[in-house]
Amino acid sequence: MAEEVRRSRFQLSQSLPLTLRPIGEHWIDRFRIRHLEIQGIWARQIESARHTAINVDVVKT
C-alpha cells in the first residue's frame, strides 16, 4: 500500500526524480521514528483475543 501511495504522489508531482528507488524492507521502522505521534497496535493480539472469546453461545445471541 505504501508503494501505491508513493506512485500516486509521484504522478501528481513533477518535481520528484524520474526514477523511484524501492521503498525497502524496513521503511516502516524509519517512518515510525520520524512520526512518534503515530502509534500502532499488534493485530495478532487483537485477533487472538477475538478467537479465544468466541463460542457458539455468543454467536447465537
Residues with Cβ within 8 Å of 12's Cβ and at least 6 positions away in sequence, in order, are: none
pLDDT tens series, the chain, 61 aa: 777 777 777 666 666 556 777 788 898 898 889 988 888 776 677 777 777 887 778 777 7
pTM: predicted TM-score of the whole model, two decimal places: 0.39
Q: What is the DSSP letter of 33?
A: H
Alpha-carbon distance of 18 to 3, in angstroms, equals 15
- The per-residue b/e assignment along 2-38, b for 16 or more CB within 10 angstroms, e otherwise, is eeeeeeeeeeeeeeeeeeeeeeeeeeeeeeeeeeeee
- The boundaries of the domain holding residue 51 are 2-60
Residues with Cβ within 8 Å of 27's Cβ and at least 6 positions away in sequence, in order, are: 2
How many domains does the chain fold into? 1
